[in-house]
Structure 1
Amino acid sequence: MTQDTRKTAAKQPGRPIRKGPALTLGALALVGVTGVVPGVPGKDAPAPGERGEVVSVVPVAAHSRAEVARVLRAQHIGTAPLRYGVLAYRVTYRTVDPHGRPTTATGLLTLPSGGGHRLGLVSDTHGTMANRAYAPSVGEDARTQSYLFAATGRAVAAPDYLGLGEGPGAHPYMDTRSAVTASVDMLHAARTAAGLLGRSLTRDLYVTGFSQGGQVAMALAKAVQGGDAAGFRLKAVAPVAGPYDIQGTEQRALTDGRVNDTSGVFYLSYFLVAQNRLHPIYKDPAEVFRQPYAGRVERLFDGRHKDEDIVRRLAPTVRQLLTDRFYRELGKPAGGMLEALRAGGHACDWKPEVPVRLYAGRNDTDVPIGNTRTCASTLAQRGARVRVLDVGPVDHFGSDRAALAGIARWFSAGAAEG
């Protein structure tokens, strides 16, 4: 349903590091690079005021290799080839909103505490969350994947997306285009921030993500291959349990029993409230939601409520949540609803020139495995190299736990094979 609760060691907040040539020794000590002169951002760094420009870098956590391994074992995630501890930073950077207007966003940059000076980069895009404090740059529980990939020796860029973390405004949930722009701009910000921290990034980019982030990962990889992230070279794509087929599999699964009631109510409510800001789905919530839910649903998705509190205050089933008219329209969407569904439906509509692995669990009742099979079929029809890895009879979050170590090993091996 929502982002899995993941307990790790306490974060260690520090003070901001502003973009520029000077870092104090105190700040360097906080980030673990005392005595190293920060690198100067290279030719790919965005110009002042442009998308991807770094506004600030704040140290938020530092963990030893043993601490990372302990967290992974506690969550039943294989430890893969862990080699280092990790250092994590909140990066604030410039990007654009869904209408192309300038704004800022935040994300998490995680670096290995040792190893080489030049690092490949993993983009890790997170799953559904309604509370802005759950986002990777703010909430420790959302950092497990970043720690795993960084501990194997790569830098990791984990965007919060718009309106989550410490970014302004509301989160445009399931707006693929703005999630991709925020993710692309996070790549550029990560390069600059790494330079300020005494490291540099190679061109190599490995892309993964879970749930909502799985769909974002596919769309991001498409954008990178298409040249939308200058200075980065796509190497491999490995998303987990993404809702790639929103208009087909996921939409129908909301009413035919393949999506469990609790998750279906949460996802659909969030989608309607967020997408209504971008597409004309309703003028009054009562056109879509039954009372008393119509009177509270928009307030619940204000970015401050915990996901579990939202669930408790909504209907127990999708049928009880929606008006009779709108429930019927789910089967034959039109107008703004159809626009919203179509806008997110092209993540797999391309031909990757790199290996792709799609991970999913066959007992997933949040994002049924049919999403993955449809994506694989679409990619294969375009001549792509793609493998579907069924990680077993596990649920939504179980699919992520089952897939992570294998993805980390594949990336560490260079992802040369499909």
Structure 2
Amino acid sequence: MTSTRPHPFPSARCVAVAALVGSLTALPPAEANAASSRTEARTASRTESRTALADGAVVSAQVLAVLSADEVAEALRGKIDAGQVRHGVTAYRVAYRTRNSSGAPTTASQLVVLPRSERRRLTAVSWLHGTTVYRKDVASVNPDSGDRLAALLLASTGRAVSAPDYVGLGTGEGFHPYGDPRATVAAAVDGLRAARTLAHRTGRELHRDVQVSGFSQGGHATMLVGRALGQERADPYFRPGALAPVSGPFHLSAFEAAAADDEISKSGLYLAYFATAWKKAYGLYGSPSDVFRPPYDRTVEGLFDGHHTTEEIAGALPGAARDLFTEDFLAKVRRPTGLLAERLRPLDRACDWRPGVPVELFHGRGDRDVDFSHSAYCARRLTANGAPHRLTDVGDLDHNASMREALPRIVRFFEAAERGPH
């Protein structure tokens, strides 16, 4: 689950300056002067018509903060190793067009962070976040988000970072179809397209080889997005350059079964989020009383509306799945059939392909939310497909701490991938 962090933007001056000067603050002085004559660069915060926009089209872009390298390092201090910070950054909230779980056009939001460097051609990183129930807890909205810190670190190494909020979170439209592969891939690929447009407006280009990484739900999504960009050619320009998933639930049917047996931390909350989202997306069940015990059958669906925080939901529901769900529903989760089995099957196969690019999986053996066995499962599937990879145990750390420990290693892995064979 997403957790809060101390405020990563210590300088109010930076935010104030960003509001005044707009997208030109992303550039070094020489580039800013050259860019000032371009209408697009002067109007990064304008809102365009939402009609007839292609997937990935930018609807609006707003500067959130401009930070020096020292300010980035200060934001990371005590939370993530800041030793790799080299550049200042400019962070934007970008609204863009994409597709929801039914394939219908919608608008999503993301955080885009660009380095304040002289380099015109930037390596792109797609950073994919973990389970988030409250729509304002994402990187483009919440300045305390651990995903915003991750994006700051990656951008400060000279990369352009696209950190999609996913469909139905942030300032996007509709509900979040938790775990739906179609909407997840669309939000990430279209987010990269929008980030490329924004980078172009500031005088930069993005390299076509994308480094993809993410945590928890985003770890699983890393492999889905990598396959979409690689094998499935979801975009004519972008292709995968390296994949670095962290603590992903790669064997999702086993994860849900473990939640049904209360073998993981926050089992009731995870499973309730999954059930209510899949009811909206796929019609997983009919009446709430078929799934939830009273009195929760009258309240649980309303809690997962995107406007309740994790703490509010946890306070209103029992922690154990056995106290929240009917035994009949738990039995179906343990041995899925029909629609449930059909929808889980492709999610269990996120690693069942051959990437053809460097892959390193990161996981902590102390993780009580997503067991280390999930990354081992992914590694076995990659091996079966003849795909070179590395599985790195980051230590006896819990779920969120595993991400913080993995991030500096991911930077080193990406740098090594750019230099040559893994």
- What TM-score comes out, normalization by structure 2 length? 0.90
Q: 2:287 aligns with which of 284, 289, 297?
A: 284
Q: 1:246 aligns with which of 244, 252, 257?
A: 252
What SS does the corresponding residue of 2:241 show, helix, strand or coil? strand
State whether structure 2 residue 34 is matched by structure 1 residue 36. Answer: yes
In structure 2, the partner of 1:234 is 240
Q: 1:140 aligns with which of 119, 140, 143?
A: 143
> Quick one: structure 1 residues 29 and 51, their matched pair in 2 at CA, closer, same or farther if it must change by over 3 Å?
closer
> Quick one: structure 1 residues 14 and 195, their matched pair in 2 at CA, closer, same or farther if it must change by over 3 Å?
farther
State whether structure 2 residue 99 is matched by structure 1 residue 78. Answer: no
Q: Which amino acid aligns with 1:234?
A: P
Count of residues paired in the alignment: 402
**Structure 2: distance between partners of 1:123 and 1:88:** 14
In the TM superposition, residue 298 of structure 1 has moved relative to its aligned partner by 1.0
In structure 2, the partner of 1:213 is 218
Q: State, as a whole percentage, how many aligned pairs show the same letter.
A: 41
Q: Which amino acid aligns with 2:186?
A: T
In structure 2, the partner of 1:116 is 119
> Quick one: structure 1 residues 219 and 399, their matched pair in 2 at CA, closer, same or farther if it must change by over 3 Å?
same
Q: How does 1:13-412 map onto structure 2 within 5 Å? A: 26-32=21-27, 34-37=32-35, 49-75=53-79, 77-142=80-145, 143-226=148-231, 227-248=233-254, 250-260=255-265, 263-412=266-415
In the TM superposition, residue 81 of structure 1 has moved relative to its aligned partner by 2.3
Query: Cα deviations across residues 175-209 of structure 1 (Å, max 9, x unaligned)?
Result: 12210011100111110111112222121210100
**Structure 2: distance between partners of 1:352 and 1:376:** 12
In the TM superposition, residue 80 of structure 1 has moved relative to its aligned partner by 4.1
**Structure 2: distance between partners of 1:178 and 1:377:** 26
In the TM superposition, residue 337 of structure 1 has moved relative to its aligned partner by 2.5
**Structure 1: distance between partners of 2:201 and 2:372:** 42
Query: Cα deviations across residues 94-128 of structure 1 (Å, max 9, x unaligned)?
Result: 11111111111111110111231111101100111
**Structure 1: distance between partners of 2:303 and 2:275:** 13
**Structure 2: distance between partners of 1:283 and 1:299:** 15
What SS does the corresponding residue of 1:278 show, helix, strand or coil? helix
> Quick one: structure 1 residues 85 and 30, their matched pair in 2 at CA, closer, same or farther if it must change by over 3 Å?
closer
**Structure 1: distance between partners of 2:262 and 2:324:** 15
**Structure 1: distance between partners of 2:118 and 2:383:** 37
> Quick one: structure 1 residues 257 and 265, their matched pair in 2 at CA, closer, same or farther if it must change by over 3 Å?
closer
**Structure 2: distance between partners of 1:40 and 1:360:** 45
The higher-RCO structure (CA 8 Å, 6+ apart) is 1
Q: Is the 8 A contact 2:25 2:66 kept in 1?
A: no
> Quick one: structure 1 residues 407 and 80, their matched pair in 2 at CA, closer, same or farther if it must change by over 3 Å?
farther
Q: Which amino acid aligns with 1:37?
A: A
What SS does the corresponding residue of 2:357 show, helix, strand or coil? coil
**Structure 2: distance between partners of 1:408 and 1:335:** 42
> Quick one: structure 1 residues 29 and 187, their matched pair in 2 at CA, closer, same or farther if it must change by over 3 Å?
closer
Q: Which of the pair is proportionally richer in helix? A: 2
In structure 2, the partner of 1:22 is none
Query: Cα deviations across residues 156-179 of structure 1 (Å, max 9, x unaligned)?
Result: 000110011110111111112210
What SS does the corresponding residue of 2:77 show, helix, strand or coil? helix
The list of structure 1 runs, each at least 4 consecutive aligned residues, that deviate by more than 6 angstroms after superposition, is 14-17, 38-41
What SS does the corresponding residue of 1:74 show, helix, strand or coil? coil
What SS does the corresponding residue of 1:393 show, helix, strand or coil? coil
Q: Which amino acid aligns with 2:156?
A: A
Q: Is the 8 A contact 1:112 1:154 kept in 2?
A: yes
Q: Is the 8 A contact 2:364 2:398 kept in 1?
A: yes
**Structure 1: distance between partners of 2:115 and 2:284:** 45
Q: CA RMSD in A?
A: 2.3
Q: Which amino acid aligns with 2:94?
A: V
**Structure 1: distance between partners of 2:297 and 2:358:** 45
Q: Which amino acid aligns with 1:57?
A: A
**Structure 2: distance between partners of 1:247 and 1:40:** 50
In structure 1, the partner of 2:47 is none
Q: Is the 8 A contact 2:2 2:132 kept in 1?
A: yes
What SS does the corresponding residue of 1:189 show, helix, strand or coil? helix
In structure 2, the partner of 1:2 is 2
In the TM superposition, residue 30 of structure 1 has moved relative to its aligned partner by 4.9
Query: Cα deviations across residues 61-81 of structure 1 (Å, max 9, x unaligned)?
Result: 122211221222221x22242
> Quick one: structure 1 residues 14 and 107, their matched pair in 2 at CA, closer, same or farther if it must change by over 3 Å?
farther
> Quick one: structure 1 residues 16 and 394, their matched pair in 2 at CA, closer, same or farther if it must change by over 3 Å?
closer
Q: Is the 8 A contact 1:94 1:104 kept in 2?
A: yes
**Structure 2: distance between partners of 1:300 and 1:193:** 35
Q: Which amino acid aligns with 1:416?
A: G
Q: Which runs of 5+ in 2 are unaligned?
A: 41-50
**Structure 2: distance between partners of 1:220 and 1:13:** 32
What SS does the corresponding residue of 1:156 show, helix, strand or coil? strand
Q: Is the 8 A contact 1:31 1:59 kept in 2?
A: no
Query: Cα deviations across residues 216-262 of structure 1 (Å, max 9, x unaligned)?
Result: 111000111121122123211001001111013x12322445412xx
Q: Which amino acid aligns with 2:411?
A: A
> Quick one: structure 1 residues 29 and 205, their matched pair in 2 at CA, closer, same or farther if it must change by over 3 Å?
closer
